Amino acid sequence: MGSFRWLTAGESHGKGLTMIVEGLPAGLPLSEADIAPDLARRQGGFGRGGRMKIEKDHAEIMAGVRHGLTLGSPVALWIQNRDWVNWTEKMAVEPVEAEIERVTRVRPGHADLPGAVKYGFSDVRNVLERASARETAARVAVGAVAKRLLAEFGVVFRSHTLSIEAVRAAVPDVIDWDAVEESPVRCADPVAGEAMVAAIQGAKPDGDTVGGTVEVRVEGVPLGLGSYVHWDRKLDGRIAQAICSINAFKGVDFGAGFEGTARRGSKVHDVVLPVDQWHGQPWRHATNHHGGIEGGMSTGETIVVHAAVKPIPTLAHPLPSVDLRTGEEVLAHYERSDVCVVPAAGVVAEAMVAAVLADAWLEKFGGDNLDEVRHSVGRHLATLWPGGAS
């Protein structure tokens, strides 16, 4: 049974980020140019802070690819942190003689307090460096590799911003995805997009931050990924866990999701169409209120995932907090931060959904080389039609 496994390592102001990706079949075309566009998309979006002016993320392939093709061995990736030059002493691997000022003022809404207490740290920097959203650059690189695999089979990933603060987009029936990528907030509704920019601008002078919601859509996933037989093999459960593991993400639903709870069952469930209405794809549905997943398995419809992104917790005008050393009231720690990360968060959510789907894909269709995977996919697709392969 194949699987798409991956790990990341690195701190926000360390030398860089390391990624190990295991399970890719041999013979998959893969280059650094395949990863670059998503890394650039992650760095964009109105409301980003000063760090994005320093970094220009580039993932270097260090192992696992030869002459443009994967070898079937682990793929190693590396992203340099350009800001490292300003932190060589504070983040040195070896002990330093200089006295390094400790961070002890914890930030509400961050990993600072539970992380420091859990691991026994007297310096919150040991927590915040790894808990930083800088690590999402590594996730996006991994997700781009997953997308490259699934692109061989016609799977397409997209995302856009649904809301920022109280501003919500009116999503058109047909989305202009080029316009979404050109929008400073990655919004499909240009009028709402302007209001979202204004909301971000309004928060900045107050030293505050704003959150919102994003949507990820995945087209081209065939019926049958995931499984109903165990809780940890259900596709929607795996995606939900992956989304909620991203910094600042606090909620997830599929298709109609929470809105569907206000409707009766007859208005929610996706009726299966008869064969004469399939239009070339087997087992089509009249609607897609379940977001392309039923019973923990893909249905063949577009997978639709919505996710909630809280306002990030590092505020230019810090909230009241406590000092880790004394327990006394202080203002929370502040270095620098974004005002809004929602537009970039959609790109990170895409990456995590891609990583889950790549894993589920190889679980079902896995092979040692790309041709074997192709054969397995083709055989599966043939069985979906009545009277197809047995």
Q: With respect to residue 60, please indicate whether it lies within any of the assigned structural domains.
A: yes
| CA atoms of 374 and 390, how far apart (whole Å) | 17
* pLDDT score for 390: 40
Please state the separation of Cα 246 from the chain's center in Å: 7
Q: With respect to residue 69, please indicate whether it lies within any of the assigned structural domains.
A: yes
Q: With respect to residue 336, please indicate whether it lies within any of the assigned structural domains.
A: yes
How far apart, in Å, do the first and last CA atoms of the chain sit? 20
Q: With respect to residue 388, please indicate whether it lies within any of the assigned structural domains.
A: no
* pLDDT score for 75: 98
Q: With respect to residue 389, please indicate whether it lies within any of the assigned structural domains.
A: no
| CA atoms of 23 and 221, how far apart (whole Å) | 19
pLDDT along the chain (390 residues), means of 10: 88 97 98 97 81 78 98 98 94 93 93 96 96 96 98 98 97 96 96 97 94 98 97 97 96 95 94 86 92 97 97 90 94 86 97 98 96 96 68
| CA atoms of 11 and 6, how far apart (whole Å) | 17
Q: With respect to residue 195, please indicate whether it lies within any of the assigned structural domains.
A: yes
* pLDDT score for 280: 77
CB 331 within 8 A of CB 352: no
Three-state secondary structure call for residue 112: helix
HSE-CB for 32 with a 13 A CA cutoff: 11
| CA atoms of 47 and 214, how far apart (whole Å) | 15
> Domain with 218 in it: what CATH number?
3.60.150.10
* pLDDT score for 2: 62
How many domains is the chain partitioned into structurally?
A: 1
Distances (CA, A) of 383 to 56, 187, 272, 341, 351: 46, 39, 18, 43, 30
| CA atoms of 5 and 262, how far apart (whole Å) | 38
| CA atoms of 76 and 278, how far apart (whole Å) | 42
Distances (CA, A) of 276 to 272, 284, 285, 388: 12, 10, 12, 16
Burial of 204 (0-12, 13-18, 19+ CB in 10 A): middle
Task: Report the run of H or E that residue 35 belongs to, with start and end.
Answer: helix 32-43
* pLDDT score for 56: 86
Q: With respect to residue 300, please indicate whether it lies within any of the assigned structural domains.
A: yes
Range of the domain at 338: 5-383
Amino acid identity for residue 220 in this structure:
G
CB 142 within 8 A of CB 6: yes
Token representation of residue 93: 């691997």
Q: With respect to residue 374, please indicate whether it lies within any of the assigned structural domains.
A: yes
Instruction: For tokens 């931060």, name the residue.
Output: 337
Please give the full DSSP string across 157-182, using - where no structure is assigned.
Answer: EEEEEEEETTEE----SS--HHHHHH
